[in-house]
Amino acid sequence: MTVDQTAVILVHLQPDIVEAAGAFGGVFAAEAARCRIIESTNDFARAARAAGVTVVFLRIAFAEDSSDLEANMPLLQLVTDMGALKDGTAAADIVSAIAIDESDIVLTHVRPGPFTASALHEELTQRGITSVAVAGVATNASVEAAVRQAADLGYHCTVLGDLCSAADPAAHEASLASMALFATVSESSRFLEALAPA
């Protein structure tokens, strides 16, 4: 894979999900902190940009009146019940500790699978992207959904295991094992080392 055909997709690093005070913080924040997801993702994104890789940050967020929230699954019913992830609020933004560059793509979507009813596939196709590496929170939710959807759409997929976390290590490891059917499971440093120049 060459750098100009590669994007990294960084999933749901939002206060409502990865910070202790967030709506889902009681589920995901402690493990994200233990794994140093925010700090490590910052370092990785910097290195990926420097290598010429497209960096994509995904936000899941919903209208204030929830008109775009179809709560047909337990996860989204929880969003409804907690009034979480409201677009336009700080809790739904990318966490402030993440350094976003003007060259990055920041995309908002409304389904756990980020390619559904969003511009993600179009954004990647316009840039000639054929390979994606996915990381973020939670491994067994939208990270896995992104990998499965990307693979179905024909992308060559890598999941960056050291930049993902779930509610607990067992859920994380089980998800990585499942994704190995659809993607290469790699450490972020090895992924960068394997990139070929454009």
Reported as type and span, the H/E element at residue 106 is strand 105-109
- Write down the pLDDT at residue 96: 96
Q: Tokens 């999941």 identify what position?
A: 159
- Write down the pLDDT at residue 185: 98
Distances (CA, A) of 71 to 67, 68, 74, 81, 83: 10, 9, 7, 10, 12
Helix, strand, coil percentages (3-state) for the chain, rounded to 5, are 40, 20, 35
The Cα–Cα gap between 19 and 74 comes to 21
Give me Rg for the CA atoms of the chain. Answer: 16
pLDDT cut 90: percent of the chain above it: 96
The Cα–Cα gap between 107 and 152 comes to 20
- Write down the pLDDT at residue 197: 79
66 secondary structure, DSSP code: -
Reported as type and span, the H/E element at residue 161 is strand 156-165
Q: Taking residues 109-116, what's their average pLDDT?
A: 97
Average pLDDT, the chain: 96
Regarding predicted confidence, which is higher, 198 or 45? 45
pLDDT in tens, 143-182: 999 999 999 999 999 999 999 999 999 999 999 999 999 9
Burial 138-160 (b: 16+ CB within 10 A, else e): bbbbbbbbbbbbbbeeebbbbbb
**Phi, psi torsion values for 137, nearest 5 degrees:** -135, 130
Q: Taking residues 184-194, what's their average pLDDT?
A: 96
The pTM assigned to this predicted structure is: 0.96
5 secondary structure, DSSP code: G
Going along the chain from its start, the domains and CATH numbers come out as: 3-194 (3.40.50.850)
The answer to whether 129 and 155 are in contact (CB under 8 A) is: yes
The Cα–Cα gap between 140 and 117 comes to 21
Residue at 135: amino acid letter = A
The answer to whether 77 and 71 are in contact (CB under 8 A) is: yes
